[in-house]
A and B are shown apart, each in its own frame.
Chain A
Amino acid sequence: MNQSENYIIDIDVEGDSFSSLTSDIVLGQIEEQSINSAQDRIDDCFSLSCLPVATKREAVAFEGRNLIYYIEPSLANKAITNLPQESGRNLSTVVIVKTTAPYANVFSLHQVLPHYLQDRFFPDFFGIRESVEQLFQGADNDSGVLQQASIDEIIPDECLEFCESYDLVETFYDCVRQAKQDFESVEKIQAELGYFHDDDEFDDEPHITIEVKVNTSRETAEGSYDRWLDWFIVKVPDSVRKFFILTIDRG
């Protein structure tokens, strides 16, 4: 596992709850009926705990095997396939919360929200820990994930707030993820909420500019851009495309 990253994994197994504490992984329980309320619970957990926070945008959730929120695709697929499925128990929700700083004090979280995380140590009945460790070891070995982890992403909160208000969060992250996939030698991806200041046009349109900083030739960058555009046009409806622009910075 990447030592600079810590993960909380909450697994809700119908009819039971459990937790396991390791140096980097905390397993607990979230059981919510909808992703919105699950997100709110995650927000509550971290805001009350005063830990270096994972924000909503870094939370991911599934219902069954259906991805209902954002996650790196390679990690999502492994999460679905590697977590154990015991007979008689349905894996209903997996929430993976990634933070960018080590937990200062996991126990403060336990103290604040005992119903969220239970500080119990018991045999890992379902092989969760092993599966999780395998999951992240696999992720570490995945060159695609490693490459993505090393790209500097700058995504201001105002961008996400805008996306949330227009129900564009998933599309936004899809655009970023696709850019990472299609462009070579990506150094940085930076999002920005912008308005077009057009002379004589008074209806400024808010939109998100996603700037991909690359260290490649123009020809390579434009080829990558064309690939991304091919995806963008097919996958993003025209009513939504107007909210996103991808630009290239070759320095």
Chain B
Amino acid sequence: MDPQDFLDTASSLVNSPREADLRTSVSRSYYAVILFFRNYFAKEVGFSPENPDFAIHKVIPEFFNISNSEEATKIGEKIKRLKAGRRDADYILSKVISGTKASDHLDLAKKLITCSITGDVEKAVLEHATKRARVRRLIQ
């Protein structure tokens, strides 16, 4: 399944009057992004996307967090922001998750998936990700 299909699910729920649907929307927005980038890095760096040692929730933002690329680091920080929203949506039932929040998360997720990482930024990201993958023993 294409991770971006989760965006369709998120979109179908974002206007629901039920908070459970809105929470699901926030959660699916995050998973669309994290799995999209999981597959991207797995392919580009060379490891199995379903490697059990691949702690994707921590590692994906880490792949982007490189000090010599502000653009890449911003992507990582935005993924963290979606991650925080997903945590609240999935676990913190005392918080209210509004339609506005679900909609904002969906919008951010769409932008992250469609942002293009090219040229020197892509090169820097992949070099950094490869190093991190070695440290984490995802590749030799």
Contact = CB atoms under 8 A, between A and B. Distances in A.
Contact residues of A: prevailing secondary structure: mixed
A233 B104 contact: no
A232 interface: yes
Contacts of B81: 245-248
Contacts of A242: 65
Contacts of A232: 77
Contact of A196 (B77, B83, B100): B83
A201 B55 contact: yes
A143 B74 CA distance: 31
Interface string B60-84: 0000011100100110011011011
Given A201-B58, A218-B107, A251-B98, A233 B80 contact: no
A16 interface: no
A241 B103 CA distance: 26
A234 B83 contact: no
B67 A201 contact: no
B43 interface: no
Interface residues of B, number: 26
Contacts of B104: 218, 221, 248, 250
B123 interface: no
A229 B74 contact: yes
A248 B100 CA distance: 11
B65 A238 contact: yes
A158 to B, nearest CB: 15
Interface in A210-245: 218, 221-222, 226, 229-230, 232-234, 238, 241-242, 245
A234 B67 CA distance: 9
A140 interface: no
Interface string A78-110: 000000000000000000000000000000000
Nearest to A205: B58
B87 interface: yes
A234 B87 contact: no
Interface string A182-222: 00000000000010111011010100010000000010011
Q: Which of A226, A230, A238 has the most CB of B within 10 A?
A: A238
B57 A194 contact: no
A190 B65 CA distance: 25
Nearest to A196: B87
Contacts of B58: 196, 198, 201, 203, 205
A213 to B, nearest CB: 11
B77 A197 contact: no
B84 A209 contact: yes
22 contacts: A196-B87, A197-B87, A198-B57, A201-B57, A203-B58, A209-B84, A218-B103, A221-B104, A222-B108, A229-B78, A230-B74, A232-B77, A233-B70, A233-B77, A238-B66, A238-B73, A242-B65, A245-B81, A245-B83, A245-B84, A246-B81, A249-B101
Given A200-B55, A222-B108, 16 more contacts: A196-B83, A196-B87, A197-B90, A201-B58, A203-B55, A221-B104, A229-B78, A232-B77, A233-B73, A238-B66, A238-B67, A245-B77, A245-B80, A247-B81, A248-B104, A251-B98
